[in-house]
Amino acid sequence: EADIYQTPRYLVIGTGKKITLECSQTMGHDKMYWYQQDPGMELHLIHYSYGVNSTEKGDLSSESTVSRIRTEHFPLTLESARPSHTSQYLCASSEWGSSYEQYFGPGTRLTVT
């Protein structure tokens, strides 16, 4: 079944640790996105990709980095987690074109202590 997956769903980690949030999609979409969402607030785009070897920063400044080595995989890495990184992270993908919707994964809720 075509879908978009995120792991882990929940993560509690100490300050200074390196973490990678995984995102994979089986829909063959070229475009992928990472959003940060704080409780009760809008989604902020932090990274996006047009395809393999393409990555761009979004509207919200983020200390995270991303890579796109395979079409289906778009991991997000925090080299040194801080309490300010505590948030929900949503991954999405879409076909190329403005009329196409974005499909979202279930999200990763990150807590940095």
Partner 1 sequence: AQSVTQLGSHVSVSEGALVLLRCNYSSSVPPYLFWYVQYPNQGLQLLLKYTSAATLVKGINGFEAEFKKSETSFHLTKPSAHMSDAAEYFCAVSDGGNTGNQFYFGTGTSLTVIP
- CA-to-CA distance for 113 and 30, rounded, in angstroms? 35
d(CA 46, CA 38): 13
Our CB check for partner 1 shows the closer of 14 and 42 to be: 42
Q: What is the dihedral of CA 80, 102, 53, 90, to 10 degrees?
A: 10
Rule CB under 8 A: say whether 45 interacts with partner 1. Answer: yes
Task: Considering only the stretches 14-22, 64-72, 78-86, 91-99, report the one whose residues sit in contact with partner 1 under the rule CB under 8 A.
Answer: 91-99
Based on the shown chain and the rule CB under 8 A, indicate whether residue 97 belongs to the binding site for partner 1: yes
In 3-state terms, what secondary structure has residue 92? strand
Closer residue to partner 1 in complex, CB, 80/111: 111
Cβ proximity to partner 1, 64 vs 94, nearer residue: 94
What three-state secondary structure class fits 84? helix
- Residues at the site binding partner 1, with contacts judged by CB under 8 A: 4, 6, 9, 31, 40-43, 45, 48, 50, 90, 92, 94, 96-107, 109
